[in-house]
Structure 1
Amino acid sequence: MVVVQWRFHWRDLFRNIKGYIAWKVLQVALTFYSLTYNIHMSQSYVVDCLLEPIFWFVDNFAGYLGKVFVFCVTFLTTAVVVIAYWLGLPYWWERSPYMTVFLVLFGNWLLLNVAFHYYMGVTTSPGYPPDGALIAEAASICKKCISPKPPRTHHCSVCDRCVLCMDHHCPWLNNCVGYYNARYFFLYMAYMVAGVTFIIMAGFDLGYQVLWVNDNGGITHENDPELIGHPVRLNRSGVFVPVQVIAEYDADHSPRVHDLPIPVITEAQRITANPMKRKAVVFMTVMCLSVFFALGTLTILHARNISRGETSIESHINATLRKTHTKHQFRNPYNCGRIKNWKLFLGLTQGRTFLRHVLMPSPHPPNGTGLSWHTVNNAIEDWP
């Protein structure tokens, strides 16, 4: 008689279950890929499909939101200027009238440039290719407009048309940044950063006293404007002390009356004692610091692109080309050198000067038409 002894192998069971599950997963994956196979399928393609609702929202509603953004920029800038005059002017006039005059003149010069360049950036057309005209310099055909597309021209999905030397569509301007208004856009950012930096430096001591010194030390009987002239005050120990000695008698019982000196109240202490003014200081601090870091970073990025002779769109395209080509094989044809790039961008040709046409508001247009471009082989002197 043969006796058979059975043994249960747990490892073989788990191995078989794992293999079965893996096989089913492969079957599902193979079925999915068989039904949805696309040679263009990639991670970028999947991301684009997931972001398609956001693109649709931007394309259909960015035009309406742009008007709201323009109103917000105008309102917030006006609020900051009003608060600067309301609080900063009395504070600096108390410290130094001569310094106040300088700050007012310098601040209004910055404000003039901010307002001018923002208005011009909003109202100036970025430039469009001529409709129905034969463009000899056309580099390609726009797939959406079905029309000739000059070099450095790109199609804006928000404006639904091609834009000459397009940089990007800016909702804060409610306009595209292109060939004719790129200088206004950049100088607006630069002067806005300079303006908030000026306010931060001029109001640093005031903000420090209001938000830190007086907030932590408190207002005592020596500096509380609400208790000036009151017959009694409450000192730090909680004991009532007289502000004025009502009567003092000499040895011959004759009365003698005299006053105690009333402490001087500074403008910073008055602002701290006023809840509305103190909230205004907090608002100014938050707004100026936010604009300084956000717009300052954006200004640096655009300044780097200008130094390279490229727009924001071209910077992404050129970055890809630099990765796929060696440095000797790829060169941006519109990069004429840092100094020339800045001169061309700011329009400092044909006798224009930095003092008159950059430091002061100037509506001068860029050279050329935006349809054809000079490359690294052409010098500035050869420009019309």
Structure 2
Amino acid sequence: MNRLCDLIDQKIDDGTFVPVVDAANSTMRQLGKFLVLFVYFISTFLAFTSFFIIIPYEQIYKPAWLLVILGICGFYFLLNIQYHYYKARTIPPVACPGEEGDAFCEKCNYWKSDRAHHCSVCDKCVLGMDHHCIWINQCVGSHNHRHFFLFVANLTLAAATIITAGYPSFSDHLFIETSPNTYCTTILENAPLQDIICDYDGFARTAVVFCYLLSGILFVMVGGLTLWNVYLISIGCTYIDYLKLTGSKKKLSARKRLNKGLKANWKNFLGLRRNRTFFRCVILPTALPPVKYESLNSRPDAFDVV
């Protein structure tokens, strides 16, 4: 095993694996372009099924006022998901933000600050890098981290709403043989596309079942990612910080420098500075310029960067 490890280290040092690594990174970039289109397709499908099949069908089980609330919430989630996803994938994080005397990146041939990390896929150093996300086809770091978090948080809430409110629709269309009603066998008053949708045999049933199951998968996977981000934000870390600053007492001490307290960490991350309100920064889909953490003791700190 030691010989194998030594051989691998030797091949890495002499550049043998460089073509393989370059090919893998290129593949990830190309795959990322496809996945961006896939995200738009899936979100459009979920929205179409929710607004034009599930909500109209739920009038059998729910009062009109509740359906109106569900429609408003659905539109709000859709707006936030699309907006924050667009911002997360189009706003580039800060690259190569170092000054002479900082750590030196041999790949970029440039200085990098303490909280910059080199991404081999993007081929640049990224300030405040959390991770490279193939679903937005770029790194999550300073400038776009807030949008990425709000995207996954709103997606989780939207999936939870579909799971909670759409169960009767899912049950009726999954067990269609024993169900007294389905979308295409019931006369629905507020279903403007019912005739068109029901012209395609089996589409309504497939759409409802697939939409519900996909929402369950998203709730578990994206919800887990959201909770992990909540934890990291609460302790003032990115994922890269968490990995780099785990282990020795010195590293744990450096991590403590990042943690300004729960409230201050969240205010810093969400940009709640300079008279910005929670309603404007979080509830409304708003783009904000990145801000540096305003230290309570006014001492500059290279770790205090959003």
What does residue 69 of structure 1 align with? 35
Within 2, Cα distance between the matches of 1:178 and 1:100? 38
What does residue 339 of structure 1 align with? 263
Spell out the pairing of 1:111-260 with structure 2 (5 A cutoff): 111-129=78-96, 135=99, 139-212=102-175, 214-215=176-177, 217=178
Q: Given the alignment of the two structures, is residue 291 of structure 1 paired with residue 254 of structure 2, yes or no? A: no
CA separation of 1:108 and 1:374: change in aligned 2, threshold 3 A? same
Contact 1:140 1:149 in 2 (8 A): yes
Q: Which runs of 5+ in 1 are unaligned?
A: 1-28, 229-264
Structure 1 residue 327: Cα displacement: 9.2
What does residue 85 of structure 1 align with? 51
Contact 1:305 1:312 in 2 (8 A): yes
The one-character-per-residue Cα deviations of 1:148-167 (angstroms, maximum 9, x if unpaired) are: 11120011111111111111
Greater mean alpha carbon deviation, residues 74-83 or residues 301-310: 301-310
Aligned length: 289
Within 1, Cα distance between the matches of 2:295 and 2:6? 37
Within 1, Cα distance between the matches of 2:174 and 2:48? 20
CA separation of 1:139 and 1:361: change in aligned 2, threshold 3 A? same
Q: Which runs of 5+ in 2 are unaligned?
A: 189-193
Within 1, Cα distance between the matches of 2:167 and 2:104? 55
TM-score (norm 1): 0.66
**Structure (1 or 2) with the larger CA radius of gyration:** 1
Q: Given the alignment of the two structures, is residue 312 of structure 1 paired with residue 256 of structure 2, yes or no? A: no
Contact 2:93 2:126 in 1 (8 A): yes
TM-score (norm 2): 0.81
Structure 1 residue 52: Cα displacement: 8.2
Selected match of 1:109 from 68, 73, 76: 76
Selected match of 2:275 from 338, 347, 351: 351
Within 1, Cα distance between the matches of 2:183 and 2:209? 21
CA separation of 1:314 and 1:329: change in aligned 2, threshold 3 A? closer
What does residue 252 of structure 1 align with? none
Contact 1:196 1:288 in 2 (8 A): yes
CA separation of 1:275 and 1:160: change in aligned 2, threshold 3 A? same
Contact 1:318 1:332 in 2 (8 A): no
- Which residue identity does 1:102 align to in structure 2? I
Structure 1 residue 308: Cα displacement: 1.2
RMSD: 3.6
CA separation of 1:313 and 1:375: change in aligned 2, threshold 3 A? farther
Within 1, Cα distance between the matches of 2:261 and 2:215? 34
The one-character-per-residue Cα deviations of 1:243-262 (angstroms, maximum 9, x if unpaired) are: xxxxxxxxxxxxxxxxxxxx
SS at 1:172 equivalent: coil
Structure 1 residue 76: Cα displacement: 0.6
Contact 1:92 1:99 in 2 (8 A): no
The one-character-per-residue Cα deviations of 1:191-236 (angstroms, maximum 9, x if unpaired) are: 0001111111110122122224x44x266xxx7999x9xxxxxxxx
CA separation of 1:53 and 1:290: change in aligned 2, threshold 3 A? farther
Contact 1:141 1:149 in 2 (8 A): yes
CA separation of 1:205 and 1:379: change in aligned 2, threshold 3 A? farther
Within 2, Cα distance between the matches of 1:224 and 1:124? 44
Contact 2:130 2:141 in 1 (8 A): yes
Within 2, Cα distance between the matches of 1:123 and 1:183? 13
SS at 1:158 equivalent: coil
Within 2, Cα distance between the matches of 1:178 and 1:224? 46
SS at 1:332 equivalent: helix
CA separation of 1:342 and 1:75: change in aligned 2, threshold 3 A? same
- Which residue identity does 1:172 align to in structure 2? W
Greater mean alpha carbon deviation, residues 138-147 or residues 186-195: 138-147
CA separation of 1:334 and 1:139: change in aligned 2, threshold 3 A? farther
- Which residue identity does 1:357 align to in structure 2? C
CA separation of 1:345 and 1:330: change in aligned 2, threshold 3 A? closer
Within 1, Cα distance between the matches of 2:77 and 2:183? 35
Q: Given the alignment of the two structures, is residue 281 of structure 1 paired with residue 245 of structure 2, yes or no? A: no
